[in-house]
Every structure is written in structure tokens, then in C-alpha cells.
Amino acid sequence: MPLTGLTGSRVRERRLAAGIAQADLARAVGISASYLNLIEHNRRRIGGAVLDRLAAGLGVAPALLAEGAEGGAVQDLRAAATGAAAGAKPEVDRIDEFLGRFPGWADVLAGQYRRIGDLERMVAALNDRIGHDPHLSQALHEVLSAVSSVRSTAAILAETEDIDPDWRARFHGNLHMDSERLAVGAEALVAYLDGSEQEADTGGAAPQEELEGWLAAHGWHFAALEAGGAGAASLAGEIAQLASKAARDLASDWVRQAAADAAALPLAAFEAARAEAADPWILARKFGCDVLQVFRRVAFRPGAVEGLVLCDGAGTLLMRKPIAGFSLPRYGAACPLWPLYAALSRPMQPVAGVVEMPGFSRARFHVQAFCGVDYPAGFGGPEVRDAAMLIAPQALVAAEPALAVGTSCRICPRGGCPARRERSIVAEIAF
Amino acid sequence: MGRHVLLIEDEPNIVEAIRFILTRDGWRVSTHGDGADAVAVVQRLRPDVVILDVMLPGQLGLEVLRALRADPALAALRVMVLTAKGATRRKAWGRMCL
């Protein structure tokens, strides 16, 4: 099976490339040659210590051998093959071999596939903008109206020979008025188009991705926001460097919220309380704040491994802090089985459980989800929901049953999933 | 056919230009500058021809055209649409309404 057969093939490829005999590698790693042979032919699953020792023996990073590191590339290559031009016949069944033998080219191909996706989305967004932008349509209407008026008036003046002097004076006045209007309208249009050019200049990344990239580069934490730090204002210069205005606004909001969270949950006291009882609800009670604030403080404290996803009432992901092994969708909707969405439909109730991601490693995570509700306009106003899911790594051998989830239907290999909403582009395996 | 035309157009200078041309050509020209109650004005004045600016703000031109065509009492009314765009797309929806 292509998706699961990767790690063993990679071990074999790397070993042959390094010119090491199977028996020698087996001895170095402390396993029998026949066992290594089974591994190399993908007849035995490996992980943990054996994988680490094999990686050390081959002189590569364990992540290079593990499927997790390649999973994304395999999915992107499969997707690229699906979208290939008619007549092209990519050897989909040999993706593993391609990845193993030409990892550099595979990276280039997968990277270009992702870039094409980004560009397609940008073109769609710009197209949508031209078609539906009320400002643009208003500005164009103004210019077209003035042009029509000038044209009809000028035609009358040019083509009517015996025109009455009073009428002629009147039409001249109208021409003057309309040409003024045309100049103003054209200027407004040019100013608008100049502005939109700047706005669109984000290199294809959505503002949210830009913000997440910036936060990830800082380890999702700013010492300046902690007690005794330089404060939120000291980050203004950094924020100003972000390419799009939308991303700068998102970053300002994020910093403001993180500063408020840091003030409500001072780091030392928070860590001490967590050591006593890590339950978010208990922590929220202790500090007199809400559960979502505790989630954010956990995920955005210095050196935190926990992942965090936030969504709004429509289920749209607003923030994705990744955690190794739990793939988050790059864009679009996520797996409907995520406890995040269970929490969204049951506001103010804690939802917790163990989830398992598909794939070779079957990585398990302990997740806690919660949905808060707010009425920013009071009793008469609309209900605004904000849900979050905190994702923590779970020890590999967990006795408790895990909920089988995925990333997003399009790249999920779980066959027969009752919640599937669209076909997968990867080979489906038993749920 | 009579020679009474109703011009539905919100640009005063365009109204003036068209009124000048049609009046010289012997037409009786009524004008109306607001799309919102244009249908009621047509029903009251019963002109022989309507010249309708389909570029009226807020899709009003299209709505007026639809409403005029939906009224059986106005089946004989001739409607000319006025547009600065002249795009095939506008022609297409104009046909759709007729």
C-alpha cells in the first residue's frame, strides 16, 4: 500500500545509497538482518527507538525516514497527479519510488503544486473582487455616466447646424460640468486601483497564513508581553513589517489579546497552578477567567508543545498553531469529526477525548475543546460563538479507545467514514 | 404609433441632450429621474415608448424592466434600453427580461 509502505522503502533507499550492507546496518542498530529485511520491504511497522537508531545508523534525521515528514509531500504529489493536464499519465503507483529516488525533484513538484493552489485562490479572489466590489463598480459607473453625457452633448453640438444660441450656451456649460466630473471620477478610479494593488501584494499568502508564519517564527510567544516586559507597543515595529494590511490588523489583535491573557494569567502563578491541576476548567475558576483564555495561555506560553485551533460559529478556522503529527488543513474546512465541532454545537460544555490521526504512525492526541458565547450587542444582539481545541501529544500506547479523525476529507485516507463530505484524493483504507 | 416618449434616466445632462434631440424630431418628451417609482409613472403616463437607463444605481434598471414586462396592460409598450457599456452580457440579460 503506497501510503504505509514508505518508511521501509526509505530505509532501503538510504542504505543502498550509503553503500551499507543490510547485515552491517542491522548489527549497528542491534536488530537481526532478517528483521531489517522485513522492515525494508514494509512488512513490519517501526517507530520510536528502532526508527531513531536506524536513522542514526544511516546518518539522517529520524523525521526523514518517518512517514510524517513525507506524508504531506505524498498527498501533494497525489493531488498534483489528479489535477494533471488531460493526456498526462503520471505514474501514481510509483510515487514512493519517485520520492525515494528524487526527493529534491519531488519537493520542487510538491512545492509548485502548492504554489499553483495559492495562485489559483488569489486569482479567484481578485476576480471575485472585480466582479462584486461595490466601490469599483460605483467608480466605473460614475466615469461611464460622465462619458455618456459628454458624448451625447458633444454630438448635439457637432451635428446640429442651426442650434439656438441659448441652447448652445447651455450645452457648453453642461460639457464643462461633465468634463470636471469625469476628471474627478477618473482620479478616484486610479487612486482606488493603486490602493488595491498594494493590498493584493501579499505574495499569495492569505493574511491568516502570514500571521501564523510570523508567530511561528517567534515560537508563538513574545517575552515583551509578560510581566516586566517591554509591552505590546514594542512589537509595533515588527507588525509594521508584515506585507498586507489585513495581516497587520490580525497581528495587532493577536498581540492585544495575548497581552490581556498574560495579565490575567501571570506566567509563574499559572505554571505553579498547572503543576497542581492542569485541568483548564479548574484553572479558569482559580484565575477568574474563561476557558478559552486558559487554552490560549497554555498554547502560547514559552516553549509550549501544545497545538491550538480556533474557529468561529461557521466552523471557519481562524488560527492554527500546529503540533507535530496532527496535520492541520492548509486552507478550507477541517475534519468534521474533530471534537472542536462537537464543542461548537454544545457551547459552554467541556469536550475532551483522545483522537487518532490516520497513517502509519497512528499518532494519538489528547484534545480538549470548548466553545464560548458572547453577545457583543447585548440581549437584543446576535450570538457570537468562538470555539477552540487544545491538542496535546498522548503517550503512544494508550489503552483508552481513540476517536478516528483526519485532517480534511480531501486528503484523508479513511475509507467508509460516516462523516465524509467529499472524495479523497489519496487511496482510501479501511476506516 | 403615437409620439410620446418617457425617458427614465438619472443623469440631468443626458436627459437634457436626449430631450433636445427628440423634441426637435417632433416627440413629446416626459422625463423621470428616479427608478424607484418609475413603473408607477409609466402606468400613469402610458407613453408610447420608454427609454430606460439600465445603468440606474442599485440594479434598479433591471428591476424596472422586469416589472414593465410583467404587466400585461403594458404589453404593447416599446422599451428601449440605454447603456454605456453595450456589453454582450447586458444584451443577454435584456433579452432574458423580454
Q: What is the pLDDT of residues B52-91, one digit of tens each?
A: 987 766 567 788 888 888 889 888 899 998 876 655 555 5
* Amino acid identity, position A264: A
Burial of B63 (C-beta count, 10 Å sphere; 0-12/13-18/19+): middle
Chain B residues whose beta carbon lies within 8 Å of the beta carbon of residue A167: 20
Residue A186 has a pLDDT of 85
Measured between alpha carbons, how far is B57 from A145 in angstroms, rounded to an integer? 11
DSSP string, B23-52: HHTT-EEEEE--STTHHHHHHHH--SEEEE
**Residue burial A68-90, b: 16+ Cβ < 10 Å; e: rest:** bbbbebbbbbbbbbeeeeeeeee
Residue B1 has a pLDDT of 61
Residue A426 has a pLDDT of 60
A153 in reach of chain B (CB within 8 A): yes
Q: Is A141 in contact with B55 (Cβ distance < 8 A)? A: yes
B70 in reach of chain A (CB within 8 A): no
Backbone angles phi, psi at A425, to 5 degrees: -90, -5
Q: What is the mean pLDDT of residues A348-376?
A: 89
- For residue A147, the chain B residue with the least C-alpha distance is B84
Q: Where exactly are the structural domains of chain A? A: 6-101, 133-199, 205-301, 305-431
Q: Give the relative orientation of helices A103-132 and A67-82 as an angle to the nearest 10 degrees.
A: 60
Q: How confident is the model at residue A185 (pLDDT cuts 50, 70, 90)?
A: confident
Residue B57 has a pLDDT of 62
Residue A43 has a pLDDT of 80
Q: What is the pLDDT of residues A64-85, one digit of tens each?
A: 677 544 466 777 787 888 877 7
The three-class DSSP label of residue B4 is strand
Residue A430 has a pLDDT of 59
Percentage of residues of chain A with pLDDT beyond 70: 87
- Residues B53 and B10 sit within 8 Å (Cβ to Cβ): yes
Tell me the pLDDT of chain A averaged across its residues: 83
Select from A141, A148, A174 the Cβ nearest to the Cβ of B16.
A174
Q: How confident is the model at residue A390 (pLDDT cuts 50, 70, 90)?
A: very high
Measured between alpha carbons, how far is B91 from B86 in angstroms, rounded to an integer? 7
Q: Is A148 in contact with B11 (Cβ distance < 8 A)? A: yes
Chain B residues whose beta carbon lies within 8 Å of the beta carbon of residue A149: 11, 13-14, 17
Cα distance from B72 to chain A (closest Cα, Å)? 32
Q: Is A141 in contact with B13 (Cβ distance < 8 A)? A: no
Q: Would you say residue A317 has pLDDT above 60?
A: yes
Nearest Cα residue to A40 out of A105, A102, A103, A100: A100
Backbone angles phi, psi at A288, to 5 degrees: 65, 40
Chain A residues whose beta carbon lies within 8 Å of the beta carbon of residue B17: 149, 152-153, 155-156, 171, 174
Cα distance from A152 to chain B (closest Cα, Å)? 6
Q: What is the mean pLDDT of residues A90-119?
A: 81
B14 in reach of chain A (CB within 8 A): yes
**Residue burial A215-229, b: 16+ Cβ < 10 Å; e: rest:** beeeebbbebbbeee
A345 or A11: which carries more pLDDT confidence? Answer: A345
Residue A1 has a pLDDT of 33
Q: Would you say residue A3 has pLDDT above 80?
A: no
Return the HEC string of chain A. Answer: CCCCCHHHHHHHHHHHHHCCCHHHHHHHHCCCHHHHHHHHCCCCCCCHHHHHHHHHHHCCCHHHHCHHHHHHHHHHHHHHHHCCCCCCCCCHHHHHHHHHHCHHHHHHHHHHHHHHHHHHHHHHHHHHHHHHCHHHHHHHHHHHHHHHHHHHHHHHHHHCCCCCHHHHHHHHHHHHHHHHHHHHHHHHHHHHHHHHHHHCCCCCCCHHHHHHHHHHHCCCCCHHHCCCCCCHHHHHHHHHCCCCHHHHHHHHHHHHHHHHHHHHCCHHHHHHHHHHCCCHHHHHHHHCCCHHHHHHHHHCCCCCCCEEEEEECCCCEEEEECECCECCCCCCCCCCCCHHHHHHHCCCCCEEEEEECCCCCCCEEEEEEEEEEECCCCCCCCCEEEEEEEEEECCCCCCCCCEECCCCHHHCCEECCCCCCCCCCCCCEEC
Chain A residues whose beta carbon lies within 8 Å of the beta carbon of residue B60: none
Q: Would you say residue A382 has pLDDT above 90?
A: yes
Q: What is the pLDDT of residues A222-254, one digit of tens each?
A: 999 998 888 888 999 889 888 778 889 999 999
Q: Is B14 in contact with A141 (Cβ distance < 8 A)? A: no
Tell me the CATH number of domain A6-101, given options 1.10.260.40, 1.10.520.10, 3.10.290.10, 3.40.50.300: 1.10.260.40
Give the cell for residue A296: 490560549
Q: What is the pLDDT of residues A323-343, one digit of tens each?
A: 888 888 866 789 999 999 999
Most confident range (mean pLDDT) of A8-22, A272-286, A412-426 is A272-286
Q: Would you say residue A299 has pLDDT above 90?
A: yes
Select from A141, A145, A167 the Cβ nearest to the Cβ of B20.
A167
Q: Which range (A21-25, A323-327, B24-28, B84-88) has the least confidence?
A: B84-88
Q: How confident is the model at residue A297 (pLDDT cuts 50, 70, 90)?
A: very high
Select from A144, A155, A178 the Cβ nearest to the Cβ of B55.
A144
Q: What is the pLDDT of residues A26-56, one digit of tens each?
A: 998 888 989 899 888 878 777 778 888 888 8
Tell me the pLDDT of chain B averaged across its residues: 82
Cα distance from B13 to chain A (closest Cα, Å)? 6
Nearest Cα residue to A2 out of A84, A58, A70: A70
Cα distance from A199 to chain B (closest Cα, Å)? 26
Residue A6 has a pLDDT of 64
B18 in reach of chain A (CB within 8 A): yes
- For residue B9, the chain A residue with the least C-alpha distance is A145
Residue A134 has a pLDDT of 62
A135 in reach of chain B (CB within 8 A): no
Cα distance from A328 to chain B (closest Cα, Å)? 42
Instruction: Sort strands A403-404 and A317-321 into parallel, antiparallel or unpaired.
Output: unpaired
Chain A residues whose beta carbon lies within 8 Å of the beta carbon of residue B21: 156
- B7, B9, B11, B14: best to mutate for the A interface, most A CBs within 10 A: B14
Measured between alpha carbons, how far is A370 from A352 in angstroms, rounded to an integer? 9
Measured between alpha carbons, how far is A152 from A170 in angstroms, rounded to an integer? 13
The three-class DSSP label of residue B5 is strand
Cα distance from B67 to chain A (closest Cα, Å)? 23
Measured between alpha carbons, how far is A10 from A101 in angstroms, rounded to an integer? 9
- For residue A152, the chain B residue with the least C-alpha distance is B17
Cα distance from A174 to chain B (closest Cα, Å)? 6
A154 in reach of chain B (CB within 8 A): no
Cα distance from B8 to chain A (closest Cα, Å)? 14
| Residue ranges of domains in chain B, CATH in brackets | 4-97 (3.40.50.2300)
Q: Is B13 in contact with A144 (Cβ distance < 8 A)? A: no
Q: How confident is the model at residue A201 (pLDDT cuts 50, 70, 90)?
A: very low
A160 in reach of chain B (CB within 8 A): yes
In the sheet that B78-82 helps form, which strands lie side by side, from edge to edge? B28-32, B4-8, B49-53, B78-82
Nearest Cα residue to A411 out of A357, A353, A354: A357
Residue A209 has a pLDDT of 81
Measured between alpha carbons, how far is A348 from A33 in angstroms, rounded to an integer? 56
CATH for the stretch A305-431: 3.30.450
How many residue contacts between A and B have a Cβ separation below 8 Å? 39
Residue A347 has a pLDDT of 95
Q: Is A156 in contact with B84 (Cβ distance < 8 A)? A: no
